[in-house]
Amino acid sequence: MSDDVYIKETLEDGKIVCYRFVSTGSEAAELWYTEIVNLFSSWDNRNQLLLLVDLCEANNLLSAEMMKTAREASHERPDVPGRTAVLVNVHDSSVNVKALLDHVLADTRPRRIFSQEAEAVAWLLEA
């Protein structure tokens, strides 16, 4: 993982896995794909995987490579229960993020877009 393109952390005493993207270009897409596939592949599906993807610093922009990576990753381990919250900057367009969630990703997990992290975390913890 490279701190130059995203930062991985856990929130709420390890209950939420969070990726904060600085960039969503081809390097980020490649690194994140490996990371997220490993996460899903090794996940114990007796537990919910609560995922927060923060795109605020990346200005809500998703490269073509990141869209492709997200689509491919969404088909990994569809049996893993949980939720995905995507955090966007309300001052930047999030049309491509909405398109990703509505039309590109596999429909295997509940997911929502948020502009406030506290709301996203609360929704994830409802699972």
The domain spans of the chain are 6-125
Q: How confident is the model at residue 31 (pLDDT cuts 50, 70, 90)?
A: confident
Is pLDDT of 104 > 90? no
According to DSSP, the β-strands at 6-11 and 16-21 are antiparallel
Is pLDDT of 47 > 60? yes
Query: Whole-prediction pTM value?
Result: 0.83
Is pLDDT of 120 > 60? yes
The domain covering 6-125 belongs, at the CATH homologous superfamily level, to STAS domain (3.30.750.24)
How far apart (Å, rounded) are the C-alpha atoms in residues 80 and 46? 8
Taking CA atoms, 61 is separated from 15, 54, 56, 99, 126, in Å, by: 27, 11, 9, 12, 28
Is pLDDT of 37 > 80? yes
Which pLDDT belongs to residue 44? Answer: 92
**Of 87, 73, 81, nearest to 45 (Cα)?**
81
- How far apart are the two ends of the chain, measured CA to CA in Å? 28
